[in-house]
Amino acid sequence: MSCAACATTDAEVHAPDRELRPHLLEPDSLSRHIDQLFRAAWALCGSRDDAEDLVQETFVNVLKRPRWLRNRDEIGYLLRALRNTYNSRYRSAAQRPRERQLLETDLLERPDSEINAREIMEAIAGAPAQYRDAVIAVDLMGLSYREAARSLRTRESTITTRLHRGRQYVARALLVESPASA
């Protein structure tokens, strides 16, 4: 249908309708967006290496399966995917136990003797079962809090509490056994 007065054609009338139809994200077209995604990732991460990893992980997630876009805004979709990937990484990192290097200043002051492995194991063995199991799972076996919770069939927050109390119990037991405190 052409309208001579308004000079529109059928293609122009139905063009907005064509833009609203789903559009398949083509994997070959992703390479033209790498620079923009890298700059955005660098702004999120603050590190060049982390930004490269984030862009790569985003592309892996996007290319896992075909993606349909509602409008032809590929860069908008990719930037949202980048942000979501970053947020997922941030959440999973926040759930992992934090590691800190032990310094000599962190050691207990025991002038006469040092705590040996046997004393530590005896203190752990003397702890109540629920605390002992949490300390063994996380501190001795190296399981994450989530893995420990799964293996002990409890919640992650429960593991956190039991681990804290178990460590306190072991520390008190070691202080009581020390000759310096006697």
CATH number for the domain whose boundaries are 114-176: 1.10.10.10
* Predicted local confidence at residue 13, as pLDDT: 47
Pick from 179, 182, 181: nearest CA to 112: 179
Domain ranges of the chain: 19-95, 114-176
pTM of the full predicted structure? 0.41
Which listed CATH number (2.40.50, 1.10.1740, 1.20.1740, 3.30.300) goes with 19-95?
1.10.1740
Per-residue pLDDT of the chain (182 residues; tens, 9 = 90+): 445 545 544 544 455 555 555 666 666 667 777 788 888 888 888 888 999 999 999 888 888 777 666 676 677 778 888 899 998 887 777 777 777 776 766 655 555 557 777 888 888 989 999 999 999 989 888 889 999 999 899 999 999 999 999 999 999 988 886 555 44
